[in-house]
Amino acid sequence: MRKTRRYVDPQQSTYDRYRSDHSVGSIEDSVISESNEFNDSNNPLKKRRKCRDVFCLLLFVCFATTMVGVTLYAYLHGDYRRLIYGVDSNCDICGIQNVPKKGFQSSGQDQREFPFLIFQYADDVFYRARIDVPFGADFLNAEIFYVKQCLVTCPPDYKVVMNRCQPNITAEDAISDDGASQARMLRFISGERDILAEISEDLENTWQVIAWMCLVALGTAIIMTMLLRTLAGMIVWIVILGITLSAIGGTTFLWLYYVSITEKDDNLNVHPGDSIWGWERNKKFYTLVSAITSTVITLAILTISIGMRKRISLVIRLFREAGKAVHAMPLILLQPFWTFLALCGVCCASFSLGVLIETAGFEQKYISPEEPTERCKYLKDDILQVSRWLNIFAFFWFTQFIIGCQHFIIAGAISIWFFTRKKSTISWPILRSFDRLVIYHMGSIAMGSLLISIVKFIRLILNFVQKRLSNKNGFCRVLVTICQCCTWCLENCLIFLNRNAYVEIAIYGYGFCKSARHAFQTLVNNALRVAAINSIGDVVLFLAKMVTVIITVLIGYQMLKGRTEVHNIWVPLVIGAGLSYFISHCFISVYEMAIDTIFLCFCEDCARNDGVTKPYFMSRGLMEFVKQSQVNLREITSASSSR
């Protein structure tokens, strides 16, 4: 029997047919029924993918291999024990049996019974108190003016800090000809009651409270992600209304305050010759400037709120869609956890390599002018000097690469959810996104992270140069400051562009450059929508983080209140607040990336499809926004033509 096909009006949009065929029902039901009527030939995810940016991937692998070689070189010429136990003036490590070194007759001593290292500076107040050596050399440049010796125990007036003997003398004991500098030095390295000791005791006594604060932050962050989905419209409008009313209230207060001080000056009859005339004049001037500035800002906020009210509805719908996507893939909230573990691994590796590089070196003889005895010290060759900078750059590149992988995995999973008509058929979207990353797009992520790392490294060098020029040429310092501002702006622009480029890569499978160009064009064509999302959306997400932190701190304060063993209650509260902000940021960052991905998917859906011959992939809520935008556009066009 021949099956009868239903007639479809080609001039009727997909949205209208959804309304007529599915007046009652969910968005998913509508999409399922229409999936049989239209094929998915216009689905961008169906395109065949291939490996992209292979050269950058090879460069990344070569650089990682180079860092392995640097690590081996530093390991062969370094020793962690030099840092842990210390090295004496014969290049022997305290607390162990040393091996004789070629060319150093005094080396190779058995120091197993001498675990503590003492520094005896020839130009030091502590050493001068024991031997008659006058002050004369710069303390900071006194590398060759001290003797390092391994001891069985530290002297009575010394304390042990990391197997080093540090003088336990108060600042009053160091009054000398240049007592001010010596007192500053003593306050730095010693004290009767060190604040660090109190902090350590507070952490030991309150670690359980900090752990409970983290659990509270975790639960609050999960609740906030749910509220952002269910109460998105109310939250967004409350934020907009709160910002607007705050701006109006602040402006009104400044103008009333300006009027009050003006009337006060008139009543006081202050004249230019009076002593308070200058202060009153400056106060009135600054108040007037503040009132005018606040008025301009308030007018700008009102104009933006009124002019972008229709685009604000898009922000609300994007929040809801992001909530649906996260709800459909709850395991996506665990992605920041894996990213955090990977970042911890990179940080530990970078720190360990840095310690190896700092402990590495080659024995070098030197003779002190005060003591003709032959001494030994470690010097670094050119490879170790360059390795310091390579380690810093590797830290930047690897961390940005890991963050980029997180962005791509989230964007890939969200785009799969968006461009699938029958949502119930989606299987393992996160794993599929991870597979695409590993098989096709590792090179693209390496290229994007490389660009950000280069800019970060340049900023670090500029910061180093700025510190070296702190007391020198003013013009050079200004020039370096301008360069720092420019590189900071460039870095933030690259970070924003990279996020959107990763979304385009996840959708189309392009290379990084083409995806970045395509993302830039899409953002420019939807500049007002982007402004609404980045202004209102970022404020809402930031307030969600702050609410999590405030709730966590309040609960932590109630738990700590009345505990007399805590010296400084702010220590666990500050640490708990920082950890709660980090936890909330992990969850909200997933939500933020989901919003950005759905927005770009929405823009691509509108650009590729017309809702008639090529049906939209978007949900009914976004279709309603498109339909209303088309109606408004037709009204504006008809009104213009009638004129």
Highest mean pLDDT among 229-238, 426-435, 451-460, 559-568: 451-460
Structure token pair of residue 569? 């209650």
At residue 585, φ and ψ (nearest 5 deg) are -65, -35
Residue 76's pLDDT is 87
Separation CA 466–CA 276 (nearest Å): 41
Strand bridging mode 164-167 / 116-121: parallel
What integer is the mean pLDDT of 153-161?
A: 78
Long-range contacts of 519-527 (CB under 8 A, 24+ apart): 519/600, 522/600, 522/603, 522/604, 522/607, 525/603, 526/603
**Residue 495, class by beta-carbon neighbours within 10 Å (0-12 exposed, 13-18 middle, 19+ buried)?**
middle
Cβ(335)–Cβ(591) below 8 Å: no
Q: ∠ at Cα 466 (464, 470), nearest 5°? A: 120
Average pLDDT over the chain reads 76
Q: How far is CA 486 from the centre of its chain?
A: 19
Cβ(244)–Cβ(300) below 8 Å: no
Evaluate if residue 230 carries a pLDDT over 70. Answer: yes
Q: What is Dmax (Cα atoms) for the chain?
A: 115
> Hey, is 81 helix, strand or coil?
helix
Residue 136's pLDDT is 36
The CA distances from residue 340 to 308, 403, 439, 448, in Å, are: 37, 9, 23, 20
Give, for 365, the enclosing helix (H) or strand (E): strand 362-367
pTM (two decimals):
0.75
What integer is the mean pLDDT of 110-119?
A: 78
Pick the closest to residue 227 from 242, 210, 239 (CA basis).
239
> Hey, is 313 helix, strand or coil?
helix
Evaluate if residue 5 carries a pLDDT over 50. Answer: no
**Residue 619, class by beta-carbon neighbours within 10 Å (0-12 exposed, 13-18 middle, 19+ buried)?**
buried
Cβ(349)–Cβ(339) below 8 Å: no
The CA distances from residue 302 to 205, 232, 240, 299, 493, in Å, are: 50, 21, 10, 5, 27
Give, for 405, the enclosing helix (H) or strand (E): helix 382-418
> Which is higher by pLDDT, 529 or 372?
529
pLDDT digits (tens, 9 = 90+) for 605-641: 888 877 677 777 877 777 776 666 555 545 545 554 5
pLDDT digits (tens, 9 = 90+) for 168-208: 655 444 444 444 444 444 444 444 445 666 677 767 777 88
Separation CA 513–CA 505 (nearest Å): 10
**% of the chain residues with pLDDT over 90:** 18
Cβ(244)–Cβ(544) below 8 Å: no
Separation CA 437–CA 45 (nearest Å): 14
Residue 460's pLDDT is 92
Evaluate if residue 448 carries a pLDDT over 90. Answer: yes
Cβ(579)–Cβ(217) below 8 Å: yes
Q: What is the gyration radius of the CA atoms in the chain, in angstroms? A: 33
**% of the chain residues with pLDDT over 70:** 74
pLDDT digits (tens, 9 = 90+) for 63-85: 999 999 999 998 888 778 888 77
pLDDT digits (tens, 9 = 90+) for 346-382: 999 999 999 888 888 777 776 655 555 666 777 788 8
Residue 609's pLDDT is 77
Query: In the block, which residue shows the tokens 């749910």?
Result: 226
